[in-house]
Chain A
Amino acid sequence: MANRKPAGSTGSIEQLLAAKEIVIHCGSGGVGKTTTAAAAAAMAAVHHGGKVLVLTVDPARRLANALGLEAFGNVETQVPRAAFMEAGVEPRGELWAAMLDTKQSWDDLVRRHAPDPTTRDAILANPLYKNITGRFVQSHDYIAMERLYEIHASGTYDLIVVDTPPTRNAIDFLEAPERMADFFSSRLLRWLTVPARSRVLSMASKPFYSVADRILGSKFLEDIAEFFLLFQTMYAGFVDRAAAVTRTLADKRTTFVVVSTLESAPVREAEFFIDALHERGLHLGAVVLNKVLPTWFLDKGSTGAAKELCARADQLAAELPSTLGPPEQVARVLHEVGESFLNFQVVAKREAEMRAELSAAPDVVASVPYFDRDITDLASLLELGQQFWGVPSATGS
């Protein structure tokens, strides 16, 4: 491999997972983040041993599906050993799975940081709080990273593999802890909480209030003020926490795996994400290319043969044994076979170009082929994991 990095290169996903404690899978929607994250965790549990957790923060219950678990909430659940035995392997370690329950995680956070039971109950009962935590999008990003930090700090697991939420902007969740800290220390919060603290509005906040009042109505402003006043009691804890979460993301023990299919939109997003990681000094561990067509579609010798099948289908059908079927039917089959190959070859060529673009920077690039069946159980998950586990075959060979 020409762009093989010298010493310090992790080389393979296997080595990467052995060296890190947190592996965060990211990429655009539909590329198989959840599946590859679950497969990586399962492989680590089987081959490296120890306690491995796969944490999915996707609001849709995809991982539960892939692991054949009915539903697992915020509680970490062990994937039964029997499931591995059924898949024909004896794991050295344990595989645990958890899904992010946004509401539950926020509640836990409040319980942890509230100065006293009264404040805690007031926050939990506040209608605004319920809405923020249950309904609104931004809260997912922060709480996902917060929960990751929480689990990591508990020291329960040797390895945590995370699947990130589908964000419109892939870097949203990277910035979530910082934004949360900014938010809690913002001037706006102080302004919003002014009416609750003092009936006399300062000259500075008066114009703000007259406009805010027109837009949101004073009752809502009061609701907001009450909510944030309550939240302010947890200010210090929150800001410290957000800073700690940010540090965890940048820690040497944390790495990011960018997952992408070889289509233009996901590849663009993956490139953007790789740049974002680089800018922030975060560790890019590997790029996993998912649902890749076999490279034999690029075989030049077969191109000619496929064209022959298309062009001379009738003639060829006549030369084949009559036991195959009526010649016109055989000709149709030959034509279809040839055309299908050429069609897929076009896609394979496109993928090769995309692959070359994406493979320029990272140390580890692993490919997962298109699977001819669905990933619905541990056996297929491990089979998929096997594809990217070892030292990756060099690009194009």
Chain B
Amino acid sequence: MSMDTEESLKEYLSLQLKIPVLARIGPLARTFDFVANAAPGVKEILTIGKFLWEVRQKSYDLVVVDAVATGHITGQLAAPQAIQELVQVGLVRDQTGWMLDLLGDPAQTGVVIVAAPEEMPVNETLELVDKLAADTVVDLAAVVANRVLPELFGRGEEAVFDQLATDDEQVLSHAVGAPVRTILDGAQLAVTLRRTRSVHLARLREELPDGTPLLYVPYLFQRSHGARATHQVAAHLGEELGF
């Protein structure tokens, strides 16, 4: 399902607060949309409350949330606490208790951070790890390094490539029967890209809290991002997780 604050609000009103009729009345529903905008944290808690509610209802075995951008996620996850501090009584306040219980239980809730092995994303990931620990009760379940480029050459093979790319290019072109310069440049670029990224990958590995699982998903060389790509990512993640 996809998330929509207005829909969440209506559901929230009818499911949690048992005000089904009111929620359907136009002007009042609009009024509550205003409330969601006006009262700080209401919007955030509606979003987070919606998926926590699905968990609480046990409608699914697993609820996976594709969350908002890095800069915003802590604000959402910290919303129940913020509300608890701000709102002393009332139904919204009553809701924060069970939300915090669910969010704070590592057996039930965990955050998975996905990062590309580039400098800025790695920085942001590490910042987010600290922020999650400082501002929220949510456990860090794992970090996924996405689009990891393959290592082209094994031990000793790079020396072979270097010699091919310099001294023996002509010989190779002759053997193949066509110029190979462009192909060698392509391989060189692949090696360089992999190398610059591996530095960041190493830093990510080192600076993550001890025991944080770090999973790798390789870069997919394909034309489109359809269902096949999703299957491939799933297969790689499955391998990493030992399925």
Contact = CB atoms under 8 A, between A and B. Distances in A.
B49 interface: no
A186 B17 CA distance: 25
A127 B39 CA distance: 12
Which applies to chain B's interface (DSSP): helix, strand, loop or mixed? helix
A224 B186 CA distance: 61
A48 B41 CA distance: 45
Contacts of B40: 128, 131-132, 135-136
Contacts of A294: 185, 189
Interface stretch (B99-107, B137-145, B172-180, B233-241): B172-180
A301 interface: yes
Interface stretch (A8-16, A54-62, A72-80, A236-244): A54-62
Nearest to A338: B183
Given A166-B71, A296-B185, A344 B221 contact: yes
A214 interface: yes
Contact of A329 (B90, B121, B156): B156
Nearest to A332: B157
A321 B168 contact: yes
B34 interface: yes
A246 B184 CA distance: 52
Interface string A294-309: 1011010110111011
Given A217-B89, A376-B119, A306 B153 contact: no
Interface stretch (A88-96, A150-158, A366-374, A382-390): A366-374
B164 interface: yes
Interface stretch (A204-212, A271-279, A355-363): A204-212
A212 B9 CA distance: 13
A319 interface: yes
Given A131-B86, A336-B153, A168 B72 contact: yes
B225 A340 contact: no
Given A186-B34, A217-B87, A166 B223 contact: no
Contact of A65 (B19, B89, B93, B123): B123
Interface stretch (A18-26, A106-114, A346-354): A346-354
With most chain B CB atoms within 10 A of its CB, the pick from A186, A334, A346 is: A334
A212 B22 CA distance: 12
Contacts of A324: 160, 163-164, 168
B183 A214 contact: no
B151 to A, nearest CB: 10
B161 A219 contact: no
A186 B33 CA distance: 12
Interface stretch (B50-58, B190-198, B208-216): B190-198
A183 B93 contact: no
B187 A336 contact: yes
A189 interface: yes
B172 A60 contact: no
Given A166-B69, A321-B168, A333-B153, A135 B91 contact: no
Interface of A: 29-30, 34-35, 58-62, 65-66, 127-128, 131-132, 135-138, 140, 165-168, 179, 183, 186-189, 192, 207-208, 211-220, 223-224, 228, 263-265, 294, 296-297, 299, 301-302, 304-306, 308-309, 316, 319-321, 323-325, 329-330, 332-334, 336-338, 340-341, 343-344, 346-347, 349-350, 370, 372-376
5 contacts: A61-B123, A131-B41, A302-B182, A304-B178, A316-B175
Given A189-B38, A220-B88, 7 more contacts: A61-B127, A215-B91, A304-B178, A316-B175, A323-B163, A336-B187, A337-B152
Interface of B: 13, 17, 19, 22, 28, 31-32, 34-35, 37-41, 43-44, 68-72, 75-76, 78, 82, 85-93, 116, 118-121, 123-124, 127, 150, 152-154, 156-157, 159-161, 163-164, 168, 171-172, 175-180, 182-187, 189-190, 192-193, 196, 200, 221-225
